[in-house]
Amino acid sequence: MSDFSTTTAFRLIRRLALGEKSTAMYLLIHEDAEQPVVEADLQAEAEVQLGSRLPIGSVSDLSSEPGGLRLNDKNPIRVLRIDHWSPELVGLLDTHVIRLERSQAQLLFLTTDVLSEQLLIAAPNFRSRLTEVLRILPDSPAGGAPN
């Protein structure tokens, strides 16, 4: 797997808060076992730094909406899990990535190393629209950067 820059929920939410009015799409790669911790960190940082609850769902939830992939809520930042491989879902994501961009949201796609490799190969339109691909680590319990 390629070496991507690393970040934490604290750093990422701070970055997003500064560009809250702009559209951005990040692919965040985490270790399998760290998913619940990373999600909890993102949720906590959104509550502290933005004063709002961060919607966390699955990309497959979007595919069940009429007309393909869409975002209905008005939250400026949304987390979407890509938690299993589905050629149909990846095809929808790749085909409808422009609809996601038009949502005016900052989208954080959470996935694992293995799924990210498959996704980046199988979805070139999606890959080309990503703002950045980052490896996300749990925040250090003591605060600051992880070791």
Q: What is the pLDDT of residues 46-79, one digit of tens each?
A: 999 988 888 888 887 765 554 444 555 667 788 9
- Concatenated DSSP letters for 57-81? EEHHHHHTSTTSS---S--SEEEEE
Model pTM score: 0.85
Asked if residue 119 has pLDDT above 80, the reply is: yes
Q: What is the pLDDT of residues 87-99, one digit of tens each?
A: 988 888 898 888 7
Which residues have CB under 8 Å from 72's CB, separation 6+? 65
Q: What are the helix and strand counts (H, E) for the chain? A: 7, 6
Asked if residue 38 has pLDDT above 90, the reply is: yes
Q: How far apart are CA 117 and CA 1, in angstroms?
A: 7
Domains located in the chain, CATH noted = 6-137 (3.40.50.300)
Give the residue among 131, 25, 109, 101 at the shortest CA–CA distance from 59.
109
